Structure 1
Amino acid sequence: MARRTPTRSAGLLLFRRLDDGIEVLIAHPGGPLWARKDAGAWSLPKGLYDSDEQPEAAARREFTEELGTAPPDVPAVELGEVTLASGKIVTGFAIEGDLDTATVASNTFEMQWPPRSGRMQAFPEVDRAQWVDPATARAKLNPAQAAFVDRLLDSLR
């Protein structure tokens, strides 16, 4: 049996400095399947990319698509890769900047909802974004992606 190539995704972890540390921006997935989920459900703004696209370029594109605002045009810190429980490989990058979470306006996707109804509905890919301290981010992020927070903190020391 042929081995499947893992799906690849790239995301940006936006961070800002405060007097007593940093905060990171995390995104909550939209749609009815995620509506009542919190701990372990949040993510970096991220998305799939093909082999002909550079991961950082994909991460910046996905940030814009999912949050409705382009990320700051500053150098990125490479945070490496993590593998999700699904087998998807996520490459992370961190950039310093700020964003007003009230301005988040995500692109949308369509799915049949309610199930087996035959009715298609559109939902935002991201329904909200939130600034949180590193400990809160670790608790809210997909468990594999929590490593990106630790790697960011290590890079800032």
Structure 2
Amino acid sequence: MPVRSAGLLIHRLSETGPEVLLVHPGGPFWAKKDEGAWSIPKGLIEADEDELSAAIREAREELGVEIQGAFARLGEYRQPSGKVVVVWSVEANATLCVEEIRSSEFQIEWPPRTGRIQNFPEVDRAEWFPAAEAEIKILKGQRATIADLLKQLGREQ
């Protein structure tokens, strides 16, 4: 059975159309990557945890805020690695400010083979992107979530 993760595609409506919140992974491997490197807030589903609860927990860990709203299941998306990501859409709370995100951290040996352990944020930044730009920024395996959101909102491009 493939590894399963859960995530939220957080969106808002602007004067020019839907915008989505994407997060950029922290750490040295992603530092200089942009196009095709961004993601929705997501992570592994823990044992005995339902998928939506996992998605909400992961968003809270990666953004540092509690996401509330009317969650609508978008679907399941198989990633190039074989992992399956279960995704819900939710309209953003008006107070969600990307400049104030506070991500949890992870530890890795960096630089490699030095024995030196460093902490890095799981997410080093978050940004709002118009749907068309988000399709360029988001990881290839998550690209279909944007099109499915637009269908869900009745705004197919």
What RMSD over aligned residues (CA atoms) do the two structures have, in Å? Answer: 0.9
1:50 deviation in Å?
Answer: 3.0
The within-5 A match list for 1:32-43 is 32-43=28-39
The within-5 A match list for 1:1-157 is 5-71=1-67, 73-98=68-93, 99-157=96-154
Inter-partner Cα distance in structure 1 for 2:3 and 2:14:
36
Give the counterpart letter for 1:25 in structure 2.
L
The size of the alignment, in residue pairs, is 152
Inter-partner Cα distance in structure 2 for 1:46 and 1:133:
20
TM-score under structure 2 length normalisation: 0.94
Inter-partner Cα distance in structure 1 for 2:152 and 2:80:
25
Where does structure 2 lack aligned partners over 5 or more consecutive residues? none
Equivalent position SS for 1:102:
helix
1:51 deviation in Å?
Answer: 4.7
Inter-partner Cα distance in structure 1 for 2:132 and 2:78:
21
Equivalent position SS for 1:144:
helix
TM-score under structure 1 length normalisation: 0.94
Equivalent position SS for 1:148:
helix
Where does structure 1 lack aligned partners over 5 or more consecutive residues? none
Once the two structures are overlaid, the 10-residue window that deviates more, 120-129 or 11-20, is: 11-20
1:31 deviation in Å?
Answer: 0.2
Deviation digits for residues 101-130 of structure 1 (CA, Å, limit 9, x no counterpart) = 110110000000000000000000000000
Inter-partner Cα distance in structure 1 for 2:20 and 2:65:
16
4+ residue runs of structure 1 moved beyond 3 angstroms? none
